[in-house]
Chains A and B, each alone.
Chain A
Amino acid sequence: MPRIVVCFKWVIDEAYIRTGASQELDLENVDYKLSDYDRNAIEEAVRLKEEYGGSLVGITVGVPEATKGIKDALSRGPEKAYFINDASFDNLEPSQTATILADVVSSQIEYDLIICGEGSSDLYAQQVGPRLAEKLGIPCISYVQKLGIENGEIIAERKMEEGVEVVAAPMPALVTVVPDINSPRVPGLKDTLMASKKPVISITKDQLSQTYEPCLQTAGILAASMERNCVKFGGELEGIAGFVESLLKEGVIS
């Protein structure tokens, strides 16, 4: 029976982000949510547990105020959560997150399978899963759209650009899932109320075995802007020629 670990991230809900006059992001009045693909990761973990038995714990790295995120994740199925928190953990880069997770997972958690979302809703760097697997020295299967366990092995369908690849890996292993894998169920009211009663193991920075310096520096974050212009062409020969020429110029056709 697999012992499953699911990683999740509490992120800014992009619906609340406003753009300032000079394209800077206004994060003053934002709300937070569980990263979208992590909901798929948790749902898949719950589904596997329902099918194969075993255990399920959640793990996250974040700021100490992210307690609502822990409850949100717990309301979706994990039995308990590891909450690695520090005030300085608000802007970690993926390599730091992966190193911190690896530190705790390798020293405190017995596991057969780790499930991550393919990428987070905020940065979508797609780095934490593969880096965590690398640090733990276990196989990593990314872009997973279907997951099962057969004869003690992970069988995964990977959604590739052209077709589907089916792979197997011995456990322990790590998979990162895409949203096609399932449709996360909505937690019931009782699941939400019960979440507060589930155990949360809080791990602070000084309990980690090393400190992690960032190797990236964020110079700034600006909203992407899309320039639109409207050009009208007539239906006569001249207009059509102009239209084609314009498409060629913009690189739409060649």
Chain B
Amino acid sequence: MDFKLTEEQELVRQNMREFTEKYVDPIAAEIDENSRYPAEVIEKLAEGGWLGMPFPQEYGGAGTDYLTYIIAVEEMSRSCASTGFTMSLHIGLVSGAIYNFGNEDQKKKFLVPMAKGQYMGAFAFTEPGAGTDVSAATSTAVLDGDEYVINGTKTFTSNGPVADIYVAFAWTDKSKGRKGMSAFIVPKGTPGLRVGEHFKKMGLRSSQTSEMIFKDCRVPKENLLGEEGQGLQIAMDSFDHGRIGIAAQAVGITQAALDESISYSKQRVQFGKPIARQQAIQWMIADMGTDLSAARFLTYHAAWLKDQGKPFSKEASMAKLFAAEMAAKHTSKAVQIHGGYGFCKGFKVERLMRDAKFTEIGEGTSEAQRMVIAGNLLR
């Protein structure tokens, strides 16, 4: 076993930290408060080549391994979980779907500008009545001549209001069950596609989330991603990838909670000494550090498996499940350590606690992860 990161991986972490210190830390609280999409940061990420990290250079990427990309998401999330999520969503979920299932023409046309950060991606999958239960989806796509006509409403579409490329899912033949759904690449501005209601979220507030409404939305046949009927497989595979990103996001959030807790507890004096010298606080911090290490190892292991070309679906779910639940638990503890101050706006832990909750829900709830894990273990 080798637990050592390469010098490149360490430098990438360091450079991402430098990036966040310069461009993200100063605005993280403001974009959360105002629910503002940090277009200027996304532009800087694009300039730095961060938005196509794991894709080969011929597709506009940087050609790093998955672990390096995961480290960058973690480090970004430590500063701003919303922006970390935007990276993970754009790279791991959406661009990844096109990289893994797109044909050469689709990769040239869509993946290259996405990897360069000129186009941002969104994943139009969840529906008002179909969350974890995918079979309840109602969106349809009907082939009419050389075009598919998509109808349906998608909800909780992250990046919905700001994306240029949507990977959208609809039934092409519901009677075929799991093999009846297909995936489509739908560019912004396609007639019949419009952004619906914007959601006001408790956390991850600078990430933009909306409904996406497809009404007789016609996309050319060549925008079918993969084969007809392969949609669900594409979605599940993309979620497997995406989950490592959400796990990394949760690890970044927990790291930030630990950083804040250590720093605050050393300064805050009660009963004549810093609260860091009270056993009650020490135990919280010890647990936080321990769970953080475990979550990080699970996450890096999932990414490493992916890099080795080995199956990683179960491990990605385990990483996501554990890292998310630890983020939720320990950001709450971090607020506890901060006491009344932690309950008020102005201290980072308050934002961390709200952002952490997302990681237990987005890209598959903790319950959905347990289904995947149990399914794998009981096979």
Contacts and interface: CB of A to CB of B under 8 A. Distances in A.
B14 A195 contact: no
A72 B11 contact: yes
Contacts of A190: 49, 62
A71 B15 contact: no
A196 interface: yes
A70 to B, nearest CB: 9
A189 interface: yes
B30 interface: no
A186 B72 CA distance: 14
A186 B11 contact: no
Contact of A187 (B15, B23, B63, B64): B15
Contacts of B72: 189
B7 A189 contact: no
Q: Is the interface of B mostly helix, strand, loop or mixed?
A: helix
A241 interface: no
5 contacts: A71-B8, A72-B11, A186-B23, A189-B50, A196-B8
Interface residues of B, number: 20
B18 A75 contact: no
Contact of A68 (B11, B18, B48): B11
A193 interface: yes
A192 B12 contact: yes
A235 interface: no
A67 interface: yes
Given A189-B12, A190-B62, A193-B64, A67 B18 contact: no
B310 interface: no
A71 B7 contact: yes
A190 B18 CA distance: 15
B15 A68 contact: no
Contacts of B18: 186-187
B47 interface: yes
A195 to B, nearest CB: 7
Interface in B32-65: 47-50, 53, 62-64
B222 interface: no
Interface residues of A, number: 15
Contact of A75 (B11, B23, B47): B11
A187 to B, nearest CB: 5
A188 B10 CA distance: 14
B11 A71 contact: yes
A146 interface: no
A188 B47 contact: yes
Contacts of B50: 188-189
A102 B11 CA distance: 29
A186 B49 contact: no
Interface in B1-33: 7-8, 10-12, 14-15, 18-19, 22-23
Most B CB contacts (10 A, CB to CB) among A67, A71, A190, A192 go to: A192
A75 B15 contact: yes
B8 to A, nearest CB: 6
Nearest to B12: A192
A33 interface: yes
Contacts of B48: 186-189
A189 B62 contact: yes
Contacts of B47: 188
A68 B50 CA distance: 20
A76 B15 CA distance: 10
B354 to A, nearest CB: 27
